């Protein structure tokens, strides 16, 4: 690889923006990209010899560092059939090559109907990103491409091939041989490696890469040079200190307040309401007592070595407060104040100062501008929004919004029946950021599933590394706020132009095994389900509904809008269902349960029907659409609790048709007993789809 | 066109399955499809002359009625550059042509980077369907095609071009001239015409049609012959008689029952509960009195000319009952009984007999196997599911499911606050079908918007014709149950192979101006909104929310998942918002209202903020995300009712964050006063998207 480096160094010292075609190919060939045979020719005699060796028809090109896109300037002639044509083209190109200080190449003519494209580009903070897709004019028109960030693993490369819409053409297609996926994958891995090993290479386009007899062969390439950026951080953090945040044995509220409805008062009420069992200290220059607790007049006065400080002071007091805390051995702080870089220039310089102080003192900080964090197993919260006692559960959230530990928690507490383990509001994340919290949750026995709302990634590389590990055994579900479709503006290569931030984030999440959702509401709906039910082992759903229209429309929804299947049951199961039902209904999956319910009562019909489908090896999950109305009778619902107990490995969800008041009381009965319910009939299926994706992330990587 | 017919006739009498290439082109040329220049040649001398006239390079082909897809058999040679190559190819092809009883053609070589495809196929009941899309190998791999059923209008053809994902390549693309859309459109209209005028032509493929200097030029075509099917019915129905169903002055229940909870009893209770003001007769062989009404012992006994009969008898009694009713001048019947073709062979023959009796007597029938219909302006229903008094409103439903006039109505009555005008359960639609009801609703002053659940179209042509008219002034929203992705199995042309039922239905709905939805729940959510609010005039939404995360994630949702825009406000509006707000928030659309709410109170903040955005000419609709919690205060909500009054042309929807009980009471206050609310924050935007599409259907056709 020394030669490669010297090619690059030489080009840079020549002031080149792009590598010559020969150099580009030398670099790419060294990383395993196969190219069409070609020869540099300096005279007609050489050209004739080259063409003779390669065999007609051939391609002739002018290659010059001054030209990034040859086709548009007419510097390629394909299909040269004989010496006659060769001579005419050579004369013309030889002249052009001189003008452009370039060279003339004779190349093998590669024929194949399938044209692909691949490339590499660098994105700020994400590092080298590899692209793959349909080539030719369709690259731009259809935008049918997939990305991954380097380093790629083999399964990433294979997943990219399955991700493009035109993936059909990679298989046996119109009598063509299937593309050698291993070979194609090796090329993609090679591009990732180039990106990691040669920071001066900024963009690469290989377009087209033609498929001949199943083998990919590149016929043109462009390598763009650039100034190496900072290497993205990928230092693994040590999360030991987060214990001080989530399991503090002593806490001090700095800026405690006597006045009701002030943040400095509400935070104390919250801590008390949750039954915090550690030591609670308060600081306020006025001293005295607040809510039965002694108030210290200064930080200096406090005993040494308090685990955690919650600072509820104006932004300007931040740097000084951090120093004072550090001096007292308080090394973990939650900074509630807003008014930093998110507001104005003054706030920005205050923020910079704060970063400096954090670095100097080594104090670890959550925030500023955070609404706090929650840790129910430790009966603790630093939230200053009046929350009261927070329901304990096994769901943990990471949220880059003040919304979460405040009114969204309020909604979860009042509108849903599941509880949370940990919640962290990241605020401006001057110090502690998402990947550290993620690592803490990964090892947290109280956390069964992790939900994330994020607007930006502070260290994408570190995040990816940690997420790759945790998603193998815990579901991680992420809503990305602030999607932008904008591509890079100054891009030379097409790869760079279509690598929008959102596309790359999508790639990172797929690589990380994180399931991306596109509705804020799914942050609760999916949490509710995973909180008490197992993940579905596959995407094969059965459901029981009281109406043919529902059977039809929900099947369409599962298979058309989602990636679920509604498969046939084994014949023995089908027959058992048929035995349950009046004859005039032909029983199958999905299950038309209404006639059975009329004949045998709702309870028996749904109980027996669900048992049959859950016993079937083809079924991974069941949804009960209960019809509840005065006239038809509302059965006791214990049987559903029993079903959940009898089939602990298959999730059971409930939704409704009929009268609102019965739906509400069914929810109030079922949810506290661990059976999730959903007001709209599509919702349980949307959630199953999300959780099935989580599950397949665990298996397929 | 006589010649065209004789070409087809001759081919059929020869027993051909496809037209020869020359004949295909003759037919297509007559309908305006431009082809590459070509000449039939029978000797080398003729071939030389043809190539000289056309100009090298040329294409040579063998054309034979025995071969549908030439390329796969190597019967095309492109890029023939000189007489030498011409001769070699001719010798080879001349021999092959003899073997295949075909001809040799010399054709102009059309070069262009853009390859398109178009075609025609026939679908049962839908008639000729026209296809357009990306050509070459991508037709199959990407399936990027659009369909319309004949006859096409010009705007249909243009819409097809905008519908494909690769539409970019039709415009100025990589320095190429934009495609002549008018010319392309004319070709598509031509294909539709061929389909209508020549029933023996079954399938057409034109692939590729190459774009040269912006002009489409077809270079190959395949015309497949078939046995003409039945012409689909397109007789416009007369809906005058539906008055008897929806506005009957007298009604008889045949099969009235004394026993509570029997259908024959519940239907009487329903009629009474709704305050029906016409005359109500009952028939039961036992006579006597039911619920205070005299019971006739037979149909014969009834007075003459009762408007409507509701028949609640076993299926087997149907034919006889229809005859007896006809004899008594009862010409409109609702048949409740199930047990016809939907059940078994016996039911099927009963159904055939019933069709026969309907035809003989001229009686008009709704059902059988219908759960009935509803007409609140007439205080009437034929539903036998216990419904009680049904809330009157301006939404009308057509439903091909028993689900609708039963438990779905029950849900609407108990879980929503809007009312219905008419509901028709179609049942097995032996007689009355969706298009007749649609026509009645079209002219019904009580119906503001029409929602349809349909599993099949009885007469697609008639439905399309009527829908095209009504969607110009009323929104029509349809959920299609039973989507199937299956293509036609015995297709020869690619066009036919990819024309799945669902694709064609999608085409029909677009042509009809009907908005298709993919969630059953949207049948209520959208109804609620259109019931009391105007349609949005465009897709430009403003919303006010109490959290940055919501602003961000809902903007993403609007622009990423939906077709809504969240545009900038005029600078004057922006400044007015800024004046309202504390300085540290930079106000814009969407509106971050929380700081203002803290400073001025929720009521003032939301009222003034919404006024500003609704006054802005760039905004078509506003959504208020209200934050409701004990601690933050729940304001009186009259101001929202006032806003709706002040801006009668712009819809206002409400959704929530915070505490469940306050959300519920806000809903209970706002909805009966005409302001729709939605429990999940994404829902109002989904509904705006649906209704915006309805509105643009009205304008763009």
Minimum distance, in Å, between the CA of residue A60 and any CA atom of chain B: 18
Residues of chain B found within 8 Å of residue A519, distances taken between Cβ atoms = 557, 680, 682
Over residues A198-205, mean pLDDT:
94
Query: Dihedral, CA atoms, A442, A443, A446, A450, nearest 10 degrees?
Result: 0
CA distance A401 to A454: 8
Chain B nearest-CA residue for A686? B519
Contact A598/B at CB under 8 A? no
* pLDDT tier for residue B78 given thresholds of 50, 70 and 90: confident
Contacts of B121 (CB under 8 A, 6+ apart): B128, B129, B131, B202, B203, B204, B488, B491, B493, B495, B496, B499
Cis-peptide into B315, omega within 30 deg: no
Q: Return the closest-CA partner of residue B312 out of B367, B389, B374, B244.
A: B367
- How far apart (Å, rounded) are the C-alpha atoms in residues B137 and B219? 15
The whole-angstrom separation of Cα B222 and Cα B206 is 6
> Where does the pLDDT of residue A335 fall: very low under 50, low under 70, confident under 90, or very high at 90 and above?
very high
Q: Is A53 on the interface with B (CB under 8 A)?
A: no
For residues B534 and B644, give the distance between their C-alpha atoms in angstroms, rounded to a whole number: 10
Conformational region of residue A674, where left means phi above 0, alpha means psi within -120 to 50, and beta covers everything else: left
Quickly list H helices, A55-111. 83-99
Q: Do B520 and A554 touch (CB under 8 A)?
A: yes
Q: Does B524 touch chain A (CB under 8 A)?
A: no
> Could you tell me if A72 lies within 8 Å of chain B, comparing CB atoms?
yes
Domains in chain B and their CATH numbers? 2-108 (3.30.1490.20), 114-225 (3.30.470.20), 239-449+520-529 (3.40.50.720), 533-700 (3.40.50.261)
Question: Which residue do the tokens 């005359």 mark?
Answer: B279
Q: Are strands A476-480 and A515-517 parallel, antiparallel or unpaired?
A: parallel
**Residues 467-506, chain B, touching A (beta carbon < 8 A):** 479-483
A200 at B interface, C-beta within 8 A: no
Percent of chain B scored above 90 by pLDDT?
A: 78
Say yes or no to pLDDT of A443 above 90.
Answer: yes
Q: Which of B96-110, B227-241, B301-315 is predicted with the least confidence, judged by mean pLDDT?
A: B227-241
> Distances in Å between the alpha carbon of B159 and those of B148, B188, B333, B336?
10, 11, 42, 43
> How wide is the angle at C-alpha B148 spanned by C-alphas B146 and B149, nearest 5°?
150
Q: Residue A413 in contact with residue A385, Cβ under 8 Å?
A: no
Task: Answer whether B395's CB lies under 8 Å from B420's CB.
Answer: yes
What is the helix (H) or strand (E) element at residue B380, kind and residue range?
A: strand B380-381
Task: Say if residue A486 is exposed, middle or buried (CB neighbours under 10 Å; 0-12, 13-18, 19+).
Answer: exposed
- Name the phi and psi angles at A468, rounded to 5: -50, -40
Distance CA B138, CA B115 (A): 9
**Is B548–A401 a contact, with Cβ atoms under 8 angstroms apart?**
yes
Judge: A166–B141 Cβ closer than 8 Å, yes or no. Answer: yes
Q: Tell me whether residues B681 and A520 touch, CB distance under 8 A.
A: yes
Tokens of B180: 């002549």
- CB-nearest to A407 from B400, B402, B657 is B657
Per-residue pLDDT tens over the stretch A484-531:
554 444 566 767 777 778 889 999 999 999 999 999 999 999 999 999
3-state secondary structure of B625: strand
Phi and psi, residue A691, nearest 5°: -75, -30
Report the pLDDT value the prediction gives residue A403, as an integer from 0 to 100: 80
Contact check, Cβ <8 Å, B173/A137 = yes
Question: What is the Cα–Cα distance from A473 to A459, expressed in whole angstroms?
Answer: 22
Q: From the list B79, B483, B554, which residue is nearest A556 (CB)? A: B483
Nearest-CA residue of chain B relative to A561? B518
pTM comes to: 0.91
Residue ranges of E strands in A573-689:
591-592, 621-628, 652-658, 677-678
**Which residue's structure tokens are 């023959």?**
B349
**Strand positions, DSSP E, B526-588:** 541-545
Give me the pLDDT at residue B345, please. 86
- Which of A344, A519, A584 is facing B682, going by the closest CB pair? A519
The phi, psi pair for B676, rounded to 5°, reads -70, 140
Q: What share of chain A is helix, strand, coil (3-state, %, to 5)?
A: 40, 20, 35
* pLDDT for res B72: 65
CB–CB of A549 and B400 under 8 A? Answer: yes
How many Cβ atoms from other residues are within 10 Å of residue B511's Cβ? 23
User: A275: closest CA among A147, A141, A186, A381?
Assistant: A381
Q: What whole-number distance in Å separates Cα of residue B400 and Cα of residue A401?
A: 46
DSSP secondary-structure letter at B125? T
Please report the pLDDT score of residue A176 as a whole number.
83
- Tens digit of each residue's pLDDT (9 = 90 or more) over A22-56: 899 999 999 999 999 999 999 999 999 999 999 99
- What's the confidence (pLDDT) of residue A72? 66
Residue A401: band (very low, low, confident or very high) from pLDDT cuts 50, 70, 90: confident
Q: Do A660 and B411 touch (CB under 8 A)?
A: yes
What's the pLDDT score for residue B487? Answer: 41
CB–CB contact B549 A658 (8 Å): no
**Contact: B403, A547; criterion CB under 8 Å:** yes
Counts for chain B of helices (H) and strands (E), in that order: 24, 29
Our CA-based measurement puts residue A566 at a distance from the nearest CA of chain B, in whole angstroms, of 13
Contact B411 A546 (CB under 8 A): no
Cβ within 8 Å, pair A658-B521: no
Contact assignment for B521 to A682 by CB distance below 8 Å: yes
From chain A, the residues in CB contact with B561 under 8 A are 518
Q: Residue A494 in 3-state DSSP?
A: helix
Q: Nearest C-alpha of chain B: how many angstroms from A71?
A: 11
pLDDT of the residue at A701:
64
The tens digit of pLDDT for each residue in A268-293 reads: 999 999 999 999 999 999 999 999 99
B348 touches chain A (CB under 8 A): no
- CB–CB contact B682 A520 (8 Å): yes
Distances (CA, A) of B338 to B259, B310, B317, B369, B402: 20, 14, 12, 4, 10
Using a CB-CB cut-off of 8 Å, the residues of chain B touching A682 are 519-521
* Assigned token pair, B517: 């939805």
- Distance separating alpha carbons of residues A526 and B129, to the nearest angstrom: 42
CB A463 within 8 A of CB A436: no
Q: B427 contacts in A (CB within 8 Å)?
A: none
The A residues from 148 to 167 touching B (CB cutoff 8 Å) are 165-166
pLDDT band at residue A231, thresholds of 50, 70 and 90? low
* Mutual angle of helices B460-470 and B434-442, in 10-degree steps: 10
How far is the CA of A235 from the CAs of A199, A229, A364, A427, B2, in angstroms? 19, 17, 17, 22, 81
The DSSP annotation for B451-473 comes to EEEES--SSHHHHHHHHHHHTTT
**Out of B72, B174, B455, whose CB is closest to A175?**
B72
Q: Is the pLDDT of residue B111 over 70?
A: yes
The answer to whether B408 contacts chain A (CB < 8 Å) is yes
Average pLDDT of chain B, as a whole number = 92
CB-nearest to A552 from B140, B385, B482 is B482
Measured in angstroms, the CA of A50 and the nearest CA of chain B are apart by 23
Longest Cα–Cα distance of chain A, Å, equals 103
Q: Do B520 and A479 touch (CB under 8 A)?
A: no
The interface residues of chain A toward chain B in range 306-325, judged by CB-CB distance below 8 A, are none
Q: Does A661 touch chain B (CB under 8 A)?
A: yes
Listed in sequence order, the DSSP H helices in B383-518 are 409-415, 434-442, 460-470, 494-498, 501-512
- The bridge status of strand B541-545 relative to strand B380-381 is unpaired
Cis status, amide bond into A151, omega within 30 of 0 = yes
C-beta separation of A566 from A541 below 8 A: yes
Instruction: List chain B residues with CB under 8 Å of A402.
Output: 547-549
Q: What is the pLDDT of residue B483?
A: 67
Instruction: Return d(Cα A282, Cα A293) in angstroms, integer.
Output: 7
pLDDT per residue as tens digits for the range B384-433: 999 999 999 999 999 998 878 888 899 999 999 999 999 999 999 999 99
Residue contacts between A and B (CB atoms, under 8 Å):
190
Q: Which of B423, B650, B426, B648 is nearest to B523 (CA)?
A: B423
A175 vs B contacts (CB less than 8 Å): 72
Is residue A545 within 8 A of residue A507, CB to CB? The reply is: no
Mapping DSSP to helix (H, G, I), strand (E, B) and coil, where does residue B203 land? strand
pLDDT tier at B490 (50, 70, 90 boundaries)?
low
Residue B584 contacts A where some CB pair is shorter than 8 Å? yes
Q: Give yes or no for residue B232 having a pLDDT over 70.
A: no
Spell out which residues of chain A touch residue B680, defining contact as CB-CB under 8 Å. 519, 521
DSSP, collapsed to helix, strand or coil, labels residue A393 as strand
CA distance A701 to chain B (A): 27
Q: Which of A408, A403, A436, A404 lies closest to A246, judged by CA?
A: A436
Nearest chain B alpha carbon to A347: B584
Measured between CA atoms, the residue of chain A closest to residue B400 is A549
Average pLDDT estimate for A463-469: 94
Phi, then psi, of A176 in degrees rounded to 5: -85, 160
Using the CB atoms, write b or e for A425-462: b if 16+ within 10 Å. Answer: bbbbbbbbbbbbbbbbbbebebbbbbbbbbbbbbbbbb
DSSP, res A207: E
Residue owning tokens 């030398």: A26
Chain B, nearest residue to A545 by Cα: B403
- Mean pLDDT of all residues in A609-634: 93
Q: How close A165 gets to chain B, by Cα (Å)?
A: 6
């Amino acid at each position: 690889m020394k030669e490669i480096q010297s090619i690059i160094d030489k080009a840079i010292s020549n002031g080149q923006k792009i590598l010559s075609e020969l150099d580009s190919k030398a670099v790419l060939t060294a990383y395993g990209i196969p190219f069409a045979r070609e020869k540099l020719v300096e005279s007609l005699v050489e050209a004739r010899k080259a063409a003779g060796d390669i065999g007609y028809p051939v391609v002739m090109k002018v290659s010059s560092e001054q030209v990034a896109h040859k086709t548009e300037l007419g510097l390629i002639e394909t299909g040269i059939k004989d010496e006659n044509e060769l001579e005419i083209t050579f004369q013309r190109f030889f002249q052009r090559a001189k003008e452009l200080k370039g060279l003339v190449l004779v190349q093998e003519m590669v024929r194949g109907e399938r044209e692909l494209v691949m490339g590499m580009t660098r994105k700020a903070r994400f590092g080298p990103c590899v692209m793959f897709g349909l080539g030719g004019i369709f690259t731009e028109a259809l935008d049918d491409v997939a990305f991954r960030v380097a380093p790629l693993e083999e399964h990433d490369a294979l997943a990219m091939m399955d991700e493009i819409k035109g993936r059909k053409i990679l298989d046996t297609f119109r009598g063509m041989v299937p593309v050698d996926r291993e070979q194609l994958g090796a090329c993609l891995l090679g591009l990732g490696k180039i990106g990691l090993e040669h920071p001066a290479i900024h963009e690469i386009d290989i377009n087209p890469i033609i498929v001949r007899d199943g083998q990919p062969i590149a016929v043109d390439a462009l390598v763009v040079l650039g100034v190496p950026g900072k290497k993205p951080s990928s230092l693994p953090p040590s999360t030991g200190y987060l214990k001080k945040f989530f399991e503090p044995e002593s806490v001090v509220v700095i800026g405690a307040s006597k006045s009701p409805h002030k943040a400095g008062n509400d935070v104390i009420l919250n801590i008390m309401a949750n039954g915090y069992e550690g030591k609670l200290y308060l600081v306020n220059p006025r001293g005295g007592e607040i809510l039965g607790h002694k108030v210290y007049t200064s930080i200096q006065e406090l005993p040494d070595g308090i685990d955690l400080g919650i600072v509820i002071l104006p932004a300007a007091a931040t740097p000084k407060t951090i120093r004072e805390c550090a001096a007292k051995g308080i090394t973990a702080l939650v900074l509630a104040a807003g008014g930093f870089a998110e507001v104005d220039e003054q706030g920005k310089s205050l923020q910079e100062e704060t970063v400096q102080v954090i670095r100097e003192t080594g104090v670890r900080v959550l925030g500023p501008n955070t609404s706090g964090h929650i840790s129910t197993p430790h009966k603790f919260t630093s939230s200053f929004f009046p929350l009261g006692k927070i329901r304990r559960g096994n769901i943990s959230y990471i949220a880059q919004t003040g919304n979460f530990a405040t009114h969204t928690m309020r909604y979860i507490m009042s509108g849903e029946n599941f509880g949370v383990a940990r919640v962290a509001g990241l605020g401006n994340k001057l110090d502690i950021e998402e990947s550290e919290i993620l690592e803490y949750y990964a090892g947290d026995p109280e956390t069964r599933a992790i939900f994330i709302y994020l607007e930006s990634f502070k260290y994408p590389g570190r995040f990816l590394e940690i997420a790759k590990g945790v998603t193998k055994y815990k579901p991680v579900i992420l809503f990305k706020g602030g999607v932008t479709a904008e591509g890079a503006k100054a891009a030379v290569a097409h790869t760079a132009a279509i690598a929008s931030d959102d596309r790359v984030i999508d790639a990172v999440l797929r690589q990380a095994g994180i399931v991306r959702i596109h509705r804020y509401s799914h942050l609760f709906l999916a949490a509710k389900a995973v909180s008490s039910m197992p993940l579905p082992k596959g995407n094969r759903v059965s459901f029981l509904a009281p109406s043919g229209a529902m059977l039809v429309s929900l099947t369409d929804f599962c298979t058309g809008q989602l990636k679920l299947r509604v498969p046939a049951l084994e014949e023995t199961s089908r027959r058992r269902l048929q035995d349950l039902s009046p004859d005039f209904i032909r029983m199958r999956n999905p299950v038309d349960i209404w006639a059975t319910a009329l004949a045998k009562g709702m309870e028996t019909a749904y109980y027996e029907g669900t048992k049959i489908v859950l016993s079937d090896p083809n079924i991974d999950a069941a949804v009960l659409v209960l019809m509840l109305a005065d006239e038809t009778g509302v059965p006791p619902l214990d049987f559903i609790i029993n079903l959940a107990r009898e089939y602990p490995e298959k999730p059971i969800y409930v939704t409704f048709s009929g009268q609102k008041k019965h739906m509400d009381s069914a929810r109030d009965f079922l949810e506290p007993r661990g059976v999730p319910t959903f007001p709209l009939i599509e919702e349980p299926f949307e959630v199953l789809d999300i959780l099935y994706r989580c599950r397949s992330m665990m298996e397929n990587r």
